[in-house]
């Protein structure tokens, strides 16, 4: 039993959330099917339902949700247009037909309109599946074996690429790049032929490519790092990575599981005007339903189209998730400017507000924001900015952030207690909602962070 929960058990009567989690541990390993939802330092919270930007737990507590299910809920909880599309599909046509469907074709065409580089694509059930397939595809097309990834970037938990992306500083290669460490026990030597490089440093990437000349199949990156907090790419970094991969005959894979459809209709590649060879999408694409896609040019995807490279999945592209995707893409296409202007505005409001409050109360911090993705980093000292994973490890005060998050959760605002996890906003968050969040932040900072 974790320390946070022990201390709460001694001082307060067990909540219903507590009781449900205790009971769940008898049937579900750890109490939930994702470790990130039941980390040792979480305050107990078992969700009952959500509407718009708000969430209620089984104890009846209401929260302004700044997590949005780790990013998928671009249109908030229970968006009517998605519900209508899904229930119509289930009620009139069926959830899983076991044959090709017209709706999957329509969704693919709508994705192509937003991501022109995805001339052909395949659907999958999760980002992990889609990334694994994208890596297999790159290796097959190039005839090479090695993959470059970046410190602090997460690309799912498959054997092919799951590395220790939150490694301690002492475990990171002193040269700035080196063999990736296994992400968990039981990987039997995996991930094989994976090299990890420091982020946001073109010289490091160039040196790594030259050190492994003619053996790199692909460079895989989050075009906006969102798994060690939100850390945007430096100006010209993505363009430089694009040029280096082309020079070395390696493919550039953008893992847009988080950023796709969220930061722009065409994801980070539209936002920054950089085209990868292979794109992976998930999360916001389904608006809360489990879907992913990977795609590339016809020339690259031909080995999947002709069956040379296997890709399958009983539930891949099933009718339920396709109906959700279609509703998301129809709304995004029809209301592009309105949606992304609003998300940018409330993202900036939250980021600027957090920065102003922390500055006024002399709390060392850094705030990053790209559209509706916001990160607050509480730091051990005053620093100008954070540029890479190592900066976050060196300068961030994780214990202080956990304490801050606990008090914010008690005040009715939820975001994840690990500052590696970003905050996500939705179209359902209003300027008034953000103002309420900032009022509670100010009260919490005054009471808990000011010495």
Helix (H) or strand (E) holding 400: helix 398-410
> What is the distance between the alpha carbons of residues 107 and 103, in angstroms, rounded to a whole number?
6
Residue 13's pLDDT band (cuts 50, 70, 90):
low
Residues 6+ apart with CB under 8 A from 302: 120
> What is the distance between the alpha carbons of residues 293 and 111, in angstroms, rounded to a whole number?
9
Task: Give, as one character, the DSSP assignment of residue 52.
Answer: B
Domains contained in the chain, CATH given? 45-78+336-449 (3.90.1150.10), 80-334 (3.40.640.10)
Which tokens sit at 177?
């790049």
Whether 373 contacts 395, CB under 8 Å: no
pLDDT tens profile 59-118: 999 999 999 999 999 999 999 999 999 999 999 999 888 888 999 999 999 999 999 999
Instruction: Name the phi and psi angles at 105, rounded to 5.
Output: -65, -45
Task: Give, as one character, the DSSP assignment of residue 451.
Answer: -
User: Which position has the token pair 């430089």?
Assistant: 240
Which tokens sit at 168?
């301690």
Residue 3's pLDDT band (cuts 50, 70, 90):
very low
Whether 262 contacts 127, CB under 8 Å: no
User: Which position has the token pair 């896609």?
Assistant: 293
> What is the distance between the alpha carbons of residues 397 and 235, in angstroms, rounded to a whole number?
27
> What is the distance between the alpha carbons of residues 24 and 33, in angstroms, rounded to a whole number?
10
Label the pairing between strands 423-424 and 373-378: antiparallel
pLDDT tens profile 324-377: 999 999 999 999 999 999 999 999 999 999 999 999 999 999 999 999 999 999
Across the chain, what does the average pLDDT equal? 94
Largest CA distance in the chain: 65
pLDDT tens profile 222-258: 999 999 999 999 999 999 999 999 999 999 999 999 9
- Residue 380: Cβ within 10 Å count: 12
pLDDT tens profile 135-158: 999 999 999 999 999 999 999 999
Bond before 191 cis per omega within 30 degrees: yes
Paired residues of 122 in beta bridges: 294
Q: Which residues are catalytic?
A: 154, 255, 283
Residue 449's pLDDT band (cuts 50, 70, 90):
confident
Taking CA atoms, 17 is separated from 46, 57, 408, in Å, by: 5, 7, 17
Q: Is the pLDDT of residue 297 over 90?
A: yes
Which tokens sit at 350?
């939250």
Whether 200 contacts 127, CB under 8 Å: no
Residue 435's pLDDT band (cuts 50, 70, 90):
very high
Q: Mind giving me the DSSP string for 318-357?
A: -HHHHHHHHHHHHHHHHTHHHHHHHHHHHHHHHHHHHHHH
Distance of CA 145 to the CA centre of its chain: 26
| 3-class state of residue 304 by DSSP | helix
Residue 39's pLDDT band (cuts 50, 70, 90):
confident
Whether 397 contacts 377, CB under 8 Å: no
**Residue (of 386, 389, 388) closest to 376 by Cα position:** 386
Q: Which of 20-34, 111-125, 270-284, 396-410 has the lowest mean pLDDT?
A: 20-34
Phi-psi label, residue 397: left if phi above 0, alpha if psi -120 to 50, beta otherwise: beta
Q: Is the pLDDT of residue 2 over 50?
A: no
Q: What is the pTM of this model?
A: 0.94
């Amino acid at each position: 039993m974790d320390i946070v929960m022990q201390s709460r058990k001694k001082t307060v009567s067990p909540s219903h959330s507590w009781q449900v989690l205790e009971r769940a541990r008898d049937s579900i390993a750890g109490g939930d099917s994702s470790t990130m939802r039941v980390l040792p330092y979480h305050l107990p919270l078992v969700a009952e339902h959500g509407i718009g930007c708000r969430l209620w737990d089984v104890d009846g507590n209401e929260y302004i949700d700044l997590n949005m299910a780790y990013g998928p809920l671009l249109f908030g909880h229970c968006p009517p247009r998605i519900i209508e599309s899904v229930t119509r599909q289930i009620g009139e046509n069926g959830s899983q037909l076991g044959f090709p469907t017209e709706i999957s074709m329509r969704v693919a065409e709508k994705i192509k309109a937003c991501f022109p580089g995805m001339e052909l694509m395949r659907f999958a059930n999760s980002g992990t599946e889609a990334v694994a397939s994208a890596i297999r595809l790159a290796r097959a097309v190039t005839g090479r074996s090695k993959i470059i990834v970046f410190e602090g970037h997460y690309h799912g938990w498959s054997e092919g690429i799951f590395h220790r992306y939150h490694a301690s500083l002492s475990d990171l290669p002193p040269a700035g790049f080196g063999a990736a460490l296994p992400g968990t026990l039981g990987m039997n030597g995996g991930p094989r032929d994976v090299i990890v490089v420091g982020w946001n440093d073109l010289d490091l990437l160039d040196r790594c490519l030259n050190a492994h000349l003619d053996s790199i199949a692909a460079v895989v990156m989050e075009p906006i790092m969102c798994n060690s907090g939100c850390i945007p790419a430096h100006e010209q970094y993505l363009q430089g990575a694009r040029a280096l991969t082309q020079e070395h005959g390696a493919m550039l894979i953008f893992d847009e599981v988080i950023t796709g459809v969220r930061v722009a209709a065409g994801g980070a590649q539209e936002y920054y005007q950089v085209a990868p060879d292979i794109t992976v999408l998930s999360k916001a694409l389904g608006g809360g339903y489990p879907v992913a896609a990977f795609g590339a040019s016809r020339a690259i995807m031909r080995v999947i189209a002709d069956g040379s490279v296997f890709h399958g999945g009983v539930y891949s592209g099933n009718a339920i998730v396709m109906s959700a995707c279609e509703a998301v893409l129809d709304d995004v296409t029809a209301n592009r400017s309105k949606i992304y202007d609003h998300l940018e505005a409330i993202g900036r409001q939250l980021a600027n507000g957090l920065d102003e409050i922390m500055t006024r109360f002399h709390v060392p911090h850094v705030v990053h924001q790209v559209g509706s993705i916001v990160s607050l980093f509480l730091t051990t000292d005053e620093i100008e900015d954070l540029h890479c994973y190592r900066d976050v490890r060196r300068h961030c005060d994780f214990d202080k952030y956990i304490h801050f998050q606990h008090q914010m959760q008690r005040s009715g605002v939820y975001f994840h207690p690990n500052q590696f996890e970003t905050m996500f906003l939705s179209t359902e968050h209003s300027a008034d909602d953000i103002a309420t969040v900032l009022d509670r932040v100010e009260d919490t900072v005054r009471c808990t962070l000011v010495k």
